[in-house]
Chain A
Amino acid sequence: MTATILVILLILFAILGAPLFTILLAVAMVGFYSQGIDLSAVAIEIYRIADMPLLLALPFFAFAGYVVGHSRTSERLVRLTQVFLGWMPGGLAIVSLVACALFTAFTGASGVTIVALGALLYPALMQDGYRERFSLGLVTSSGSLGLLFPPSVPLIIYGVVAQQMGVGRVFTIEDLFWAGLLPGLLMLVLLSGWSLWTNRRMARTRKPFSIRDALAAVRAAIWEIPLPIFLIVGIYSGYLAISEAAVITAAYVVVVEVFVYREISFHQLPAIMRESMVMVGGILLILGVSLAFTNYLIDAEVPMRLFTLIQRLVSDKIIFLVLLNLLLLMLGAILDIFSALVIMVPLILPVAVSYGVDPVHLGIIFLANMQIGYFTPPVGMNLFIASFRFEKPVAELYRATIPFMVVLLVAVLVITYWPRLSLFFL
């Protein structure tokens, strides 16, 4: 009885907007207390953050992403993709998708893609003759495209959370990045295909490919072009550990944007550092307290009970996956991606593994669903960012993003029911 009241109270606090880490902390402390465990166990659990070498990647990728977000990299990226892809029919739509995917992978789906790239692409799309609703939907839904490509921070966090569970087979973060490659490309291809089809009657203003423009665009971005190549080669070849790649990336980006392009002054750096560490602090704190929370859940055998309960209702792997997709889509609309990862992965992973789902595949399913959650009504974060940025009512964005959501749902179904796509390289 008391437990039920407590749970209801905590849920109430959560939906009223109490910081999520305080909710998780309260659950963990009450749980430890009820089991007669000394509450300083909470401190021990949070301290475990320092035992996770992988987390080193987090502050550096975050910082690098913020530096890139503050410089004019977005302009150079659009220019570059435009000269190389703009000559194709429907080129600009594809340009937008590719540029957003690259930028989001690098900066994290923190909404900066919509603010920095969307602001360039939206007027350009309209000028090119694309319908307003299509253009809005495209830039809004592309704000979370690219979550499956390296060096996506949510994918790293999934790996960290899943690994400390010790359930299912052991895998590396590199495995996750390999697994995300084809599903991420599938999303890009499907969205591009749909963009071409829906605009097939549009009068085309194709720009012919010009070698001079191409060279100029390459020259403008010459210092930034090596970065994705270095990251992709370094990570996929296994030559660099993720954390090493992160450190080098951060240092390189600072040198290039501050000293070569001079778009960020030296005095701006502390503020950018603070901004990025605020994000990192939010994630790390939630991760830390979730370690305590997870520990309590495992002690109380919650995943085990959950599994027996679900197995009584669902015996089939396919039906389990259908339900999983529905659950994740719903969660994605309510929770932000990091909270969803640290709360739901410890509950879902053991259950999913018992149904024979590969943990790497589960990670891809998880993120693919969450990606749609970013622009699912009523509270998908990117809807509000886009509404603010483009000065459009949120309801208009709900309508604009629907077709993109349908296309991505098709992608999610393919990703979920065709594990080979994710596990092809493993």
Chain B
Amino acid sequence: MTEPTASSRLMWMLQITHRVEDMIIAVLLTATMGLALYQIVLRNVMGTGIVWGDILIRLMVLWLGMAGAMAATRQKKHISVDLVTRFLSPGWRLVSEGLTTFFAGSVCFTAFYFCLQFVKSEYEAGGLAFGQVPYWVCASILPLAFLIIALRYVIQFALILARRLKATP
């Protein structure tokens, strides 16, 4: 039996995180749907409703959106304009991909830093979003998502560099 290489171990770890992410999305979507249905039934049949239900559902949509955005980064499915790359030669396409990935990663790291500042200041302020749930917990998805998105761009950038190095020995 051969010793697993560092890169194969890394790939394995990445795949585990992808699985976990997919599961989180499925569970979140199902839970949001369940809660929203429950609210509709309560409202229309019983004439009541959970007071903080609507706020929670809206927050879950934010979390779902950010989780989806993380997954979109890994599948390179973010909305982009992309007018010229299809007319470039493979070599230039790689250069352009490298540039834009580096740019995207830097922007997301900056966003991560300032979202973290925002969460920190909310933590210190100690406000509550609903019930006993503090505001900063709800907002923590923002730095988390930007961090993961930024890291994914770093990985993609590294892969592009590796391909570039392989192409020019």
Contact = CB atoms under 8 A, between A and B. Distances in A.
A274 B69 contact: no
A283 B66 CA distance: 10
A338 B79 CA distance: 9
A235 interface: no
B69 A285 contact: yes
A232 B68 CA distance: 29
B66 to A, nearest CB: 7
Contact of A339 (B22, B30, B72, B79): B79
- The interface size bin for chain B is 35 or more
Main secondary structure of the interface of A (DSSP, over half): helix
- The interface size bin for chain A is 35 or more
B69 to A, nearest CB: 4
B81 A335 contact: yes
A63 B36 CA distance: 15
A381 to B, nearest CB: 10
Given A19-B80, A19-B104, A282 B26 contact: no
Main secondary structure of the interface of B (DSSP, over half): helix
Contact of B37 (A59, A251, A271): A251
Contacts of B104: 18-19, 22
B111 A52 contact: no
B64 A269 contact: no
Interface string A248-289: 101100000000000000000111011001111111111010
B159 interface: no
Interface string A12-26: 011111111110011
Nearest to B96: A16
B28 to A, nearest CB: 8
A368 interface: no
A116 interface: no
Nearest to B115: A43
A282 B118 CA distance: 22
Contact of B66 (A38, A56, A285): A285
Interface of A: 13-22, 25-26, 29, 38-40, 42-44, 46-47, 49-53, 55-56, 58-60, 63, 243-244, 247-248, 250-251, 269-271, 273-274, 277-286, 288, 334-336, 338-339, 379
